Amino acid sequence: MTESENWVVAFADADETQRSLLGGKGAGLAGMTKAGLPVPPGFTITTEACRAYYDAGRTMPDGLWEQIEAAIEALEAATGKVFGGDEDPLLVSVRSGAVFSMPGMMDTVLNLGLNPTSTAGLAAATDDEAFAWDAYRRLVQMYGEIVLGIDGSRLHEPNEHDRVDGQAAVRRLQTIARDQSGSRVPEDPRKQLRRAVAAVFDSWMGRRAIDYRSMEGIPDDLFTAVNVQAMVYGNTGPNSGTGVVFTRNPATGEAGLWGEYLPDAQGEDVVAGLRTPEPIAELAVRHPEVHERLVELTDQLEQTYRDMQDVEFTVERGKLWMLQTRAAKRTGRGAIRCAVEMANEGLINRQEAVGRVTPDRLEELLHPVVEPDDDTVTLVTGLAASPGGASGMVAFTADEAVALTEAGNDVILVRTETSPDDFHGMVAAQAVVTSRGGVTSHAAVVARGMGKCCVVGCEGMTVDYGEQLFRTPTAVVTAGDVITVDGTSGTVYAGLVPTAEPELDEDYETLMDWVDGVKRLDVRANADNPADAAAAHRLGARGIGLCRTEHMFFEGERIEEMRRMIMAPNTVARAEALAELEPHQTADFEALFTEMAGLPVTIRLLDPPLHEFLPSRSEVAETLTDLKLRLSGTGNLAEIDHILHEINEQQEILDQVERLSESNPMLGHRGCRLGVDYPEITAMQARAIFTAAVHCAEKGIDAHPEVMVPLVAFAAEFRQQRDIIRATAAEVFDDAGVEVPYHIGTMIELPRAALTADEICADAEFVSFGTNDLTQTALGLSRDDSSRFLPSYVRAGIIDGDPFQHLDEAGVGALVEIGTTKSRSVNPDLTVGVCGEHGGDPASIQFINGLAIDYISCSPYRVPIARLSAAHATLEHEAASTA
Ligand code: ADP
Ligand code: MG
Ligand code: MG
């Protein structure tokens, strides 16, 4: 017999480290057996046997059944009982057990081996006829459902009589089984076993299991093991029972045994929820010795596995039996406290503690949570774009959202989609819902950037701006109605659903200190205003990696000044308009430098095409129509004059809008191209930056300005902009009599820039990869339009995922690597960063960590995720290099 044909192994003989062969449950049972814990004996049929079963076309491969029979004989010898025998019979459970636990997804049959004679034998041996027939009834129910495939509800209908007369219940259920499936539970125990094992193999390819695996990303070809184990009975009276315990509280992480116990019951009774179990502390009252032993054994398990365990046990007439142990699933809060305390106890080291908390779990901790109750009504579901929860009044326009907020209300902005024009409304709103769009749509990206809850792409929802309402298949919601949004699950609820603010406690701070001690990459934040900068700082950002100055121009009166600047007919007029903007910028930068005192603040010069600051063509056209109407309705000469003047103004705006309109603005007149054509814009921004730095220096605040030139394609563009910035700095410092150290650098967001980074970065002091635009330009893919067809690309298997979420390593990643290598080849001291959404994405961070990059920069609320992911990347890198 070759190694690969060794399909069956006793718990006592198995090597518990072979998890992929034994499955999680089998490995746990083997481990507990080896450690001398009281585990009912049994054996594992390996995942390889399951694979062979499928290879053979869903039949037992040659030799498997013989091995199972031999194992049963060994089990009989070990227990001194006969499988299905007529005196004190050996009964077994048949339990599924995949490598990754799939709770509730696969099947288990208990009490195998019962038939009328062995039931009589069990009754005699236990002196409890009711118990024996009840066990047989349970077998018929489970076998009927799992092996014969009968709809469970047909077999589980409550029947008062069943408890009293178990024998009649078995007869009744056997009849139902025959009527429903054409066969009954066979009397031959070996037939029962053979079919039950096959049924557990089959359940690997059941709908439920397949769906669960696709959701959790578990591959189909891992297969399941099957565990056959001697039964123990928790349902033999008040001295018996069954329970589930955790070695710590999985919701809070608090140390100490936590769980439930159900007296006089078999394991599946706890799951079925027919009776409410009691807290595990009650066991200390009922059976102090059993409780003490349980504490002792579970402690031992935690010490052995060095992690929080989830344990199933049964008490049979005062004797404790251990039936399962596995690493416990836990909440974010639970994960952190447990990791910190285990490290403090010396059970694991700090690196391991850091590795135990996943970015997903941490993220859960950072957002307020919606807690729906029984009265909660779901309006519609969409894509969970940005986690968290919020309630508020529905507003359909950004202005309305601002007005309602200013009046002291919480507001939810609801739109078909959002555009940069809605930004102020998004700032004001507590959450954003759009009927269209994907998870990289404007609404989604901006909301995530603000750490604001957002649901997009709500199927079946229509927004009617005219009527000021939205419809879902079941409801109509009008402006001002209150709704609640859960961005974690992607659900919109009617009315006010309670939410809870997350609290970042001491354990969190401790863990994050350890995280910072592990990681190699620095983490900065993308922040455009003092509030974001403060949030980022609080969450551990070491500076600002990207401040998008244009966001400052959208606020309040500034947009008017900006428009005047854009409308300026000549350089002089433009200089005047810029002069009005400058003090605002200076004040903004001063606030940012103050918040980030001692840390770098990277300010990107104006980037978007100018038309984005003007009203849309249709808006102006509408204003013009209104004005003309007013003109025809008045006879007042003064008013006519006034209206004519306004018409003139609007006409000029319309002309300018038309002049600036581009057929492909993303690739048009933007980035440093604006600065090249309008050097006075670059000069104004540079003056604001250095004046702010001087003001800080005068107040003793340590400002570290870094001026970043966007969308550079040619080295000469960068040099030209750099010269303007340098000259301006010299001027400002000269006037003030104060000098502040600063850096000038560029952003690489065009393939040409990456490929010629050695030329472009020869004179730069830092460079930052703008991976959002680099993805757009490398793939020739517009982020705003791609949400319509990317999902079908993912479904068709053409790409793995959204390249705006996870960095496209082979393409965009290669450009980042080339750019890094080339720029460092001419400029070894260059600081290299990555800004863009990828800087907050764990998978992308893992890749970036492998390159010679110094820092990542992401939205403020992702800073802790980025820190943790950077630490994980370092740990994995170290593990790989020592392996
Ligand atoms: P799941 O993976 O769904 O928890 P299990 O295989 O662990 O399924 O079994 C279901 C229930 O039956 C559990 O409560 C378990 O403790 C109980 N059980 C399984 N095998 C035995 C056994 N040999 N004796 C007593 N109870 C058992
Ligand atoms: Mg199960
Ligand atoms: Mg279990």
Ligand 1 atom closest to residue 313's alpha carbon, by position in its atom list: 16
Q: Does 656 lie in the same domain as 631?
A: yes
- Domain end marker among 230, 254, 277: 230
Pair of tokens at residue 163: 């408890």
* Residue 267 near ligand 1, beta carbon < 6 Å: yes
SS3 annotation, 351-415: HHHHHHCCHHHHHHHHCCEECCCCCCCEEEECEEEECCEEEEEEECCHHHHHHHHHCCCCEEEEE
Give the ligand at the shortest distance from the Cα of 94.
1
C-alpha 103 to ligand 2 mean position (Å) = 7
Domain boundary among 330, 358, 386: 330
**From ligand 2's centre to the CA of 461, what distance in Å?**
38
Please give the DSSP secondary-structure letter assigned to residue 109: E
Domain of 393, in residue numbers:
368-500
CA of residue 38 to ligand 2 center, whole Å:
21
- Predicted pLDDT at 348: 98
Give the pair of three-digit tokens for residue 273.
């929820």
Shared domain for 733 and 859, answered yes or no, is yes
Is ligand 1 within 6 A of the CB of residue 105? no
Same structural domain, 582 and 638: no
Clarify whether residues 579 and 720 are in a common domain: yes
- Going along 69-192, which residue ranges are E strands? 92-98, 108-112
Could you give the CA distance from residue 88 to residue 82 in angstroms, rounded to a whole number? 8
Sign, CA torsion 93/97/102/105: negative
Cβ 332 under 6 angstroms from ligand 1: no
Residue 673 sits in the same domain as residue 572: yes
The atom of ligand 1 lying closest to the CA of 101 is 2
Q: Where are the beta strands (DSSP E) in 777-860?
A: 831-835, 855-858
Per-residue model confidence as pLDDT tens digits over 626-667: 999 999 988 889 999 999 999 999 999 999 899 888 888 889
Nearest CA to ligand 1 atom 23: 231
- Does residue 231's CB lie within 6 angstroms of at least one atom of ligand 1? yes
Task: Look at ligand 1, atom 14, and give the residue with the nearest C-alpha.
Answer: 267
- Is residue 680 a part of any domain in this protein? yes
Q: What separation in Å is there between the alpha carbon of 107 and the centre of ligand 2?
A: 4
CA of 102 to the centre of ligand 2 (A): 8
- 361: in domain: no
Write the residue with the smallest CA distance to atom 22 of ligand 1.
231
573 and 623 in a single domain? The answer is: no
* Domain identity same for 645 and 754: no
Position in ligand 1 atom list of the atom nearest CA 271: 14
Q: 711 C-alpha to center of ligand 1: Å?
A: 61
482 in a structural domain: yes
Domain membership of residue 339 (yes or no) is no
Place of tokens 């609290």: 503
Which of 40, 50, 49 lies closest to 10, judged by CA? 40
Closest ligand 1 atom, residue 97 Cα:
2
- The CB of 110 under 6 Å from ligand 1? The reply is yes
For residue 110, the ligand closest to its alpha carbon is 1
Measured in whole angstroms, the distance separating CA 103 from the mean position of its chain's CA atoms is 20
Backbone angles phi, psi at 399, to 5 degrees: -60, -45
Which atom of ligand 1 lies nearest, measured to the CA of 227? 6
Top mutation candidate among 324, 325, 326, 329 for ligand 1, by most atoms within 8 Å of CB: 324
Ligand nearest to the CA of 101: 1
Cα gap 521→507, rounded to integer Å = 23
512 assigned to some structural domain = no
CATH number of 728's domain: 3.20.20.60
User: Ligand 1: which of 312, 317, 325 to mutate, most ligand atoms within 8 Å of CB?
Assistant: 312
Query: What count of other Cβ atoms lies within 10 Å of the Cβ of residue 283?
Result: 26
Does residue 429 share a domain with residue 287? no
Tell me if 575 sits within 8 A of 682, measured CB to CB: no
Ligand index nearest the alpha carbon of residue 23: 1
The answer for 117, left when phi > 0, alpha when psi is -120 to 50, beta otherwise, is alpha
For residue 108, the ligand 1 atom closest to its alpha carbon is 6
Q: Ligand 1: which of 96, 110, 197, 271 to mutate, most ligand atoms within 8 Å of CB?
A: 110
pLDDT of residue 1: 42
**Residue 697: both structure tokens together:** 């220096």
For ligand 1, pick from 25, 45, 93 the residue to mutate: most ligand atoms within 8 Å of CB: 93
Do 461 and 569 belong together in one domain?
no
Q: Is the CB of 563 under 6 A from ligand 1?
A: no
- Same domain? 738 vs 624: no
d(CA 425, CA 881): 49
Among 458, 547, 761, 835, the active-site one is 835
CA distance 813 to 676: 29
Q: Give residue 86 CA to ligand 1 midpoint distance, Å.
A: 24
Distance CA 744, CA 727 (A): 12
Q: In terms of Cα–Cα distance, which of 787, 756, 753, 798 is closest to 773? A: 753
- Cβ(702)–Cβ(597) below 8 Å: yes
- Residue 104 CA to ligand 3 centre (angstroms): 9
Span from the CA of 101 to the centroid of ligand 3 (angstroms): 9
Q: What does residue 539 show for φ and ψ, rounded to 5 degrees?
A: -90, 10
CB environment 6-41: b (16+ within 10 A), e (fewer): ebbbbbeebebebbbbbbbbbbbbbbbbbeebebbb
C-beta neighbour count of 731 within 10 angstroms = 14
**What was the pLDDT predicted at 269?**
73
> Where among 230, 264, 284 does a domain terminate?
230
Indicate if 453 belongs to the active site.
no
Same domain (yes/no): 288, 217: no
Cα of 94 to ligand 1 centre, how many Å?
9
Residue 730 domain flag: yes
Cβ(453) to ligand 1 under 6 A? no
Q: What residue type is assigned to position 511 of the chain?
A: L
Task: Find out whether the beta carbon of 200 lies less than 6 Å from any atom of ligand 1.
Answer: no
Q: Is 39 touching ligand 1 by the criterion CB < 6 Å?
A: no
Our answer to whether residue 442 is catalytic in this structure is yes
Nearest CA to ligand 1 atom 19: 93
Question: Which segments within 827-881 are labelled E, that is strand?
Answer: 831-835, 855-858
Relative to the CA of 233, which ligand 1 atom is closest?
Answer: 25
- How many whole angstroms separate alpha carbon 68 and alpha carbon 198? 12
For the CA of 229, the nearest atom of ligand 1: 23
| Least distant ligand from the CA of 106 | 2
Decide whether any atom of ligand 1 lies within 6 Å of the 314 Cβ: yes
Domain contains 211 = yes
Q: How many domains does the chain have?
A: 5
How does strand 544-548 pair with strand 600-604? parallel
List residues, by chain if needed, whose CB lies under 5 Å from ion ligand 3: 324
Same domain, yes or no: 755 and 650: no
Asked whether residue 354 is domain-assigned, the answer is no
Q: In angstroms, what is the span from residue 334 Cα to ligand 3's centroid?
A: 21
pLDDT at 160: 60
Distance 776 CA to ligand 2 centre (A): 47
- Give me the residues of the chain with pLDDT under 70, please: 1-4, 103-106, 157-163, 215, 270-275, 439-440, 448-449, 451, 501
Return the SS3 of 316.
strand
- Whether 268 is in the pocket of ligand 1, judged by its Cβ within 6 Å, is yes
Pocket test for ligand 1, best of 95, 100, 266, 274 (most atoms within 8 A of CB): 95
Per-residue CA distances from 568 to 200, 549, 565 (Å): 77, 20, 5
682: Cβ below 6 Å to ligand 1? Answer: no
Q: Which of 287, 442, 838, 872 is catalytic?
A: 442
Sheet harboring 224-230: ordered strands across? 8-10, 42-45, 224-230, 92-98, 108-112
